[in-house]
Amino acid sequence: MAQKKIRIGVIGHTGRGNYGHGLDVCWLKIPTCKIVAIADPDEKGRAAEAKKLKVSKTFSDYRQLMDEAKPDIVAICPRYVENHRDIFIAAAERGIHVYMEKPLCRDLAEADEMLEASKKHNVKLAVAHLTRSKQAAVRFNCRSNCEPMHWLCFESTFSL
């Protein structure tokens, strides 16, 4: 029997951090994942991203993506930090796990809110810090058959 694919929602913002450092396309390399929708408030950017990722469901609002596409994980891709907290809280309240572009948020108060939401709603948060060159991560990746979320959480240096 075929394994159920993990449903991914990609959230970007063309002109405001775009789609991070490959957080949109990394899912294409994980065979157990399927990108089901993207959200971007910029119409032209949204259309270009949909074409690049070969996705037909697109939204201008990330909340609509979460409510209608019902992803298991959302990738919060913009490099600009001003909306990270709000998008994460919206995902957590819906029970959606998150893989997020760095930096995490603007300040410790926002980090505390995100931590509390993660605990309250039992969701995981992984931040995309580069650790591919660290020997422990390289050894782990070579020997691991973990689910993608476990791999992503290990790859980040901040995981709840």
Category of 22 on φ-ψ map: left (φ > 0), alpha (ψ -120 to 50) or beta: left
pLDDT at site 144: 40
pLDDT at site 155: 39
Whether residue 82 lies inside any domain: the answer is yes
pLDDT at site 6: 94
Q: Are strands 33-39 and 58-59 parallel, antiparallel or unpaired?
A: parallel
pLDDT at site 19: 86
Whether residue 160 lies inside any domain: the answer is no
- C-alpha–C-alpha distance, residues 149 and 97, integer Å: 9
Cβ–Cβ < 8 Å for 128, 156? yes
pLDDT at site 125: 92
What is the span of the domain harbouring residue 75? Answer: 6-155
The sign of the dihedral angle between the CA atoms of 155, 37, 43, 92 is: negative
Whether residue 17 lies inside any domain: the answer is yes
Q: Is 88 helix (H, G, I), strand (E, B) or coil?
A: helix
pLDDT at site 17: 78
Query: For residue 94, what is the enclosing H or E element?
Result: none
The sign of the dihedral angle between the CA atoms of 123, 60, 84, 133 is: positive
| Amino acid at position 24, single letter | D
CATH label of the domain that carries residue 22: 3.40.50.720
Cβ–Cβ < 8 Å for 80, 104? no
pLDDT at site 1: 65
How many domains in the chain?
Answer: 1
Provide the residue-wise pLDDT of the chain in tens; the chain has 160 residues. 677 899 999 999 998 878 888 889 999 989 999 999 999 999 999 999 999 999 999 999 999 999 999 999 999 999 888 999 999 999 999 999 999 998 899 999 999 999 999 999 999 998 887 655 454 444 444 344 444 444 444 333 333 3
- C-alpha–C-alpha distance, residues 100 and 124, integer Å: 11
Whether residue 1 lies inside any domain: the answer is no
